[in-house]
A and B are shown apart, each in its own frame.
Chain A
Amino acid sequence: MAKTLTKILQDIDLSPQVESVGRVTAFGDGIVFAQGLDDLQAGELVDLGHDQFGLALNLEEDQVGIVAIGSIKDLKAGDTIRRTGQILSVGVSDKILGRVVNALGKPIDGQGELKTKKQLPLERIAPGVISRESVNQPLQTGIKAIDAMIPIGRGQRELIIGDRSTGKTAIALGTILNQADQGVICVYVCIGQKASSLALSKQILEERGALDYTTIVAATASASAAEQFLAPYAGQSIAEYFLAQGKDVLIVFDDLTKHAQAYREISLLLRRPSGREAYPGDVFYLHSRLLERACKLNADHGGGSITALPIIETQANDVSAYIPTNVISITDGQIYLETDLFNAGVKPAINVGLSVSRVGSAAQVKAMKQVAGSMKLDLAQFRELEAFAQFSADLDAKTKAQLDRGIRVNEILKQGWDQPLSVPKQVAVIFAAVNGHLDQVQEDKVKLWEQEFLNHLETKGIKIIKAIEQQAQLTESLEKKLTDLIKTFNQLHQDWLVSMQETVTIPAKG
């Protein structure tokens, strides 16, 4: 022991230390202006003394602007601050799953220290074209409306956009809950949200066992603007740690509107020139460099993927505002949520007409493609006729049948946000809807029908479910078995059916 001590003492380098220092000229609102620090690099960590650090963002000829990370105490004008020579990094290891960390990777869930294996810089360059391949695997959200008509693939960026309280976070959390048996690691980045909302989300994830494969990066509303600005990049670096291991990762940014506002705050305090809506000129780059890091890598580079679900909050459904249009142009599609639909009881309140997935059916299992192919068209036709619903007594039989079909398909698409459905069950339910087996069921009994049918599948239809899962498509024999199962089920519940009349039915789509 003494020998080691002597050795340590002998090895210490006691030659004069040469450091680059600066003198604080102004400090306020979380921004430090300093003179000196001539050779400071952009994005470098600056030591503000007393174990506090700042990020150098403004490099001017005679002064530097440094954003303080966290709250700063004991700093005053005239103090000496030093370069660290390091760029901002976050410590990662496999143990980060199940933990809640702040924007710097420090755990804030009170469950002890986090042993880190690697330090990954927050700012990294996205993978190049050569290392990528096109998205070909589905990311199952468990939500029928999305998996059927706006399918998301692993490696895609799909924007969730809507007004406040339309269910944006619910879709993201529902997707995380559905990844339990999909082998996908989840990162939930919380930017500017209420701490109480985050606590509730965390509790739900924990109760459903989803926290075991999720990391939460939290920069809630009381965190400094710098932390809110850095949190998404920290989350992305954590996701890239797992990407490098060849895993599939889902990252949710909730939400990027508050992220842009935090960046605007920092930029204005740094006296950078402001542009439209007082946002700085590089607010597009702020989001594009973040979202470009979500990708699907080819087999040579591990074959992993990062799927990004950024969330943007619009004001009064205005998708042509500055930040929404920016992010829409970056992502590979959007899920558009509307307040009117939400208030009318359509949950998830997805506007299927305006929502799009630019990856589309390349990321869908064949079984789903078979049944959902015509659903979007059915719903579009229904929407056109919806205005005539009030005249239903005066319509011709065929239009009435179309309306009835549309109403029932709409009912089927309603879903509890925390009730994800596996693909085979989704396929079975949608198959029933598009092939007219629900046309006989009373409108207000459709949800009940679905619930009981899912139970029925669990008991009597378990073989069919397994077959769909294994074969990933609906063969003719499977279709016949499924049809028979549905017909028997309908027989059992005669009291839910409308009284038998002469009706013209729309031919079932195969």
Chain B
Amino acid sequence: MLKVTITTAHALSDSQLQKIKKAVTAKYGKKVDFIQELDQQVLGGIKLQLGSREIDATLQAKLMQIKDQLVKHA
């Protein structure tokens, strides 16, 4: 029983959601329970939490990365 949380800034369309569910189930095989979350703070993109692994492809994460790198090299 794998619990997957999909976090986006705006609601996903049905076709987008189906694509994601298909890809995850194909990779993990076992029964997957999908939970959708809306969070304006991520600004865009998608964050998937599969069990204890988090794949962060949100705009917020990318902006934080840029900020960290700029601070590091300042």
Contacts and interface: CB of A to CB of B under 8 A. Distances in A.
Nearest to B48: A16
B56 A38 contact: no
Contact of B65 (A13, A22, A35): A13
B41 interface: no
A502 interface: no
B56 A36 contact: no
Given A36-B51, A38-B51, A8 B73 contact: yes
B56 A16 contact: yes
B61 interface: yes
Given A8-B70, A8-B73, A21 B53 contact: yes
Contacts of A80: 54
A20 B73 contact: no
B73 A17 contact: no
Interface in A34-51: 35-39
A11 B66 CA distance: 10
Contacts of A13: 65
A35 B53 CA distance: 12
A9 B66 contact: yes
B11 interface: no
B66 A19 contact: no
A11 to B, nearest CB: 8
Interface in B48-74: 49, 51-57, 61-62, 65-66, 69-70, 73
Interface string A1-39: 000100011011110111111100000000000011111
Nearest to A18: B55
A83 to B, nearest CB: 9
Contact of A19 (B51, B53, B70, B73): B53
B70 to A, nearest CB: 6
B68 to A, nearest CB: 9
A17 B61 contact: yes
Given A14-B62, A16-B57, A37 B52 contact: yes
B53 A20 contact: yes
A22 B69 contact: no
Nearest to A21: B54
Contacts of B61: 16-17
A12 B51 contact: no
B69 A18 contact: no
B55 A16 contact: yes
A19 B47 CA distance: 11
A13 B49 CA distance: 21
A38 B69 contact: no
B41 to A, nearest CB: 13
Nearest to A17: B56
B65 A19 contact: no
Contacts of A12: 65-66, 69
Nearest to A80: B54
A12 B66 CA distance: 7
Contact of B56 (A19, A35, A37): A19
A37 B70 CA distance: 29
A24 to B, nearest CB: 13
B27 to A, nearest CB: 13
A17 B52 contact: no
A8 B61 CA distance: 17
A17 to B, nearest CB: 5
A409 B6 CA distance: 82
A19 B54 contact: yes
Given A11-B69, A12-B66, A17-B65, 6 more contacts: A8-B73, A12-B69, A13-B65, A17-B55, A17-B57, A35-B52
17 contacts: A9-B66, A14-B62, A17-B57, A17-B61, A18-B53, A18-B55, A19-B53, A19-B54, A19-B56, A20-B53, A20-B54, A21-B49, A21-B54, A35-B52, A36-B51, A38-B52, A38-B53
Interface of A: 4, 8-9, 11-14, 16-22, 35-39, 80
Interface of B: 49, 51-57, 61-62, 65-66, 69-70, 73
10 closest Cβ contacts across the A-B interface? A36-B52, A16-B57, A21-B54, A17-B56, A38-B52, A14-B62, A12-B69, A19-B54, A8-B73, A18-B55
